[in-house]
Amino acid sequence: MVLSEKHQHSVQQLHQLIDTVDHIVIGKKDITTLTLTAMLAGGHVLFEDIPGVGKTLLVKSIAKILGADFSRIQFTPDLVPSDIIGYSIPVSGEAEFTFRKGPLFASLVLADEINRTSPRTQAAMLEAMSEHQVTMDGKTYPLPEPFFVLATQNPIEHEGTYPLPEAQLDRFLLQLSLGYPTHEQEIQMLASPNQSEMLNTIQPLLSLKEFQELKQLVPTVHVQPELLAYIVKLGDYTRTNSKIRLGISPRGNQYCLAAAKAYAVLNLRDYLIPDDILAVIASVYQHRLLFKEYLTPKQKAVAIQSLIKEVPVPLKRNKR
């Protein structure tokens, strides 16, 4: 498989998307790149961040530039599954019901503070993420294609929250964090035009159909056997490390491979190199590894990078 001129043009448009978002959410190109990587791999993203760093603006910008239907769900303790899925209402004068779709029926859904709602509503949300469909009154309704969930949770405030169990966290392909901007980035942010006004002026760069065509290329990316072995060795090391209570599952390795393939496509390649794996693996591991001692998110990120460095990287190959 070789990227056609059409696909190369679509990838170039994605990089233009990344540059456009960088003018709105300043200094977060790497996060935008990884978010698009997850979407190309068909996965969902969990943002663990404090309020006010630009998560909502980032998601809205991506949705608008892709021309995607966008929906934001603010999760609260009193939210029930029908509030997000939808509900059946009686048809006037008839002995039947019609289904009114909820905000979950959008191509790009921002699930804001997902850990603030009840486990029942969380389960309904995460089931939809996994199955790409919902069931109401015995009938199944498919969700839009493509369908992506970008969820947020606050790592600081835990009062009144319902932490996601490990099995539900595993539904997210990547966990990302925007973090604070640097001193220079924040000055640039204050000096730039109003971000909301900038968002209103941007135009779609790539259609969802073109994005879907790129997404379909991801599974066809060629992978050398030694790179498959490298992913498995990294996973094995997390399972035998004395500092780790829960290592990476086989599904976690599968997600790592899918994300690495998407990263390769985003870099105009139809084959995998070690750099593709190294670019995504920390974000794949962040919400899946459980250490025996408590670590803050920053400490955990440092520990994961140290683990990765302890497994030798295969020699790079520029082509098949």
What integer pLDDT is reported at residue 168 of this predicted model? Answer: 83
pTM value > 0.85: yes
Which pLDDT tens digit goes with each residue over 148-199? Answer: 999 998 877 666 678 888 888 888 999 999 988 889 988 988 888 777 778 8
Q: In which region does residue 285 sit, left (phi positive, over 0), alpha (psi from -120 to 50) or beta (all else)? A: alpha
Amino acid at 213: E
Which pLDDT tens digit goes with each residue over 78-113? Answer: 999 999 999 888 777 676 778 889 999 999 999 999
Cα–Cα distance for residue pair 59/126, rounded to 1 Å: 19
Asked whether the beta carbons of 108 and 71 are under 8 A apart, the reply is yes
Average pLDDT, the chain: 89
What integer pLDDT is reported at residue 19 of this predicted model? Answer: 92
The dihedral through the CA atoms of 68, 212, 27, 104 has a sign that is positive
What integer pLDDT is reported at residue 317 of this predicted model? Answer: 52
Cα–Cα distance for residue pair 91/104, rounded to 1 Å: 22
The DSSP call for residue 286 is T
Phi and psi angles of residue 222, each rounded to the nearest 5 degrees, phi first: -75, 140
Out of 13-17, 62-66, 200-204, 232-236, least confident range: 200-204
Which pLDDT tens digit goes with each residue over 18-59? Answer: 999 988 888 899 999 999 999 999 999 999 988 888 888 899
Q: What percent of the chain has pLDDT over 90?
A: 56
Spell out the alpha helix ranges (H) of 25-100: 29-40, 55-66, 81-85
Mean pLDDT of 225-251: 95
Other beta carbons within 10 Å of 244? 18
Mean pLDDT of 71-80: 92
